[in-house]
């Protein structure tokens, strides 16, 4: 079985998860989705308050080596156990999730094109983009509704780590993309083109 790896990158709130969800809903078990966020390093030994202050937008926050290892395993046709992450606890949980090898593997994350080894593994690199004001508003709503945050904490985190790391690491990785998708979450033309490419690969014996 030949496997293609598709990377979906872009800053927080750009619409990566929304685009990926559409693809997963369309292809079901034929496509596997893995988040770089699942590979955030453990923060054991710190209090919740200390864990909340970690810079989660810096490349050093991720165990990218483990993700690379897991992607190699999947490409070799072997299943992996993917870590499960909790944004509420700011830590990996004790759980892992079995992921079976499929012909198409999608990896999403803010910094997946920043690490050269990981970046070079992707057959297709997609960067999703949305205006900064729209995405911060979306992130604020999402973090309060789904990730157990206060509005004040979202604003503080955005100004102290998210924005500077975006400028230093995420935005410069845009130039490595093969395709830029504007309004990622709801760009139906782009979605259809990506679906056609995935379908062509799945249908190739």
HEC string for 8-19: EECCCCCCHHHH
Binding to ligand L45E5XJ5 (CB under 6 A) within 75-134 occurs at 87, 90, 110
Pattern 132-161, binding to ligand ADP, x per CB under 6 A?
------x---x-------------------
d(CA 51, CA 38) in angstroms, rounded, equals 16
Q: Which does 201 bind (CB under 5 to 8 A by kind): ligand L45E5XJ5, ligand ADP, none?
A: none
Determine if 64 is a binding residue for ligand ADP (CB under 6 A): no
Residue nearest to ligand L45E5XJ5 (CB): 12
Candidate list 3, 18, 21, 37; residue touching ligand L45E5XJ5; CB under 6 A: 37
DSSP letters for 129-184: E--HHHHHHHHHHHHHHHS---HHHHHHHIIIIIHHHIIIIIHHHGGG-SEEEETG
Q: How many CA atoms lie within 13 A of 3 on its CB side?
A: 22
**Closest distance to ligand L45E5XJ5 from the beta carbon of 177 (Å):** 16
CA proximity to 3, closest of 67, 77, 69: 77
Tokens of 139: 């992130």
Q: Which residues contact 140 (CB under 8 A, 6 or more apart)?
A: 151, 154, 155
Q: Which does 176 bind (CB under 5 to 8 A by kind): ligand L45E5XJ5, ligand ADP, none?
A: none
Q: How many CA atoms lie within 13 A of 119 on its CB side?
A: 15
Q: Which does 138 bind (CB under 5 to 8 A by kind): ligand L45E5XJ5, ligand ADP, none?
A: ligand ADP
Tokens of 32: 């596997």
Tell me if 177 sits within 8 A of 127, measured CB to CB: yes
Binding to ligand L45E5XJ5 (CB under 6 A) within 57-76 occurs at 57
Determine if 185 is a binding residue for ligand ADP (CB under 6 A): yes
Binding to ligand L45E5XJ5 (CB under 6 A) within 143-162 occurs at 162
Candidate list 27, 39, 56, 62; residue touching ligand L45E5XJ5; CB under 6 A: 56
Where does this chain bind ligand L45E5XJ5 (CB under 6 A)? 12-13, 16-17, 37, 40, 56-57, 87, 90, 110, 162
């Amino acid at each position: 079985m030949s496997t293609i790896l598709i990377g979906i990158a872009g800053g927080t709130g750009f619409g990566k998860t929304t685009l990926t969800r559409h693809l997963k809903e369309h292809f079901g078990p034929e496509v596997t989705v893995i988040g770089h966020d699942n590979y955030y390093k453990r923060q054991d030994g710190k209090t919740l308050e200390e864990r909340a202050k970690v810079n989660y937008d810096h490349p050093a926050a991720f165990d990218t080596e483990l993700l690379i290892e897991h992607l190699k395993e999947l490409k070799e046709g072997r299943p992996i156990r993917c870590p499960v992450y909790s944004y509420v606890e700011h830590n990996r949980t004790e759980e892992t999730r079995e992921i079976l090898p499929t012909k198409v593997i999608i990896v999403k994350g803010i910094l997946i094109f920043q690490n050269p080894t990981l970046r070079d593994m992707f057959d297709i690199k997609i960067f999703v983009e949305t205006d900064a004001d729209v995405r911060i508003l979306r992130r604020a709503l999402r973090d309060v509704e789904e990730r157990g945050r206060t509005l004040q904490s979202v604003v503080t985190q955005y100004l102290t780590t998210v924005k500077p790391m975006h400028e230093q690491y995420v935005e410069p990785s845009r130039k490595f993309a093969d395709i830029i998708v504007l309004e990622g979450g709801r760009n139906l033309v782009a979605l259809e083109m990506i679906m056609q490419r995935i379908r062509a690969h799945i249908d190739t014996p």
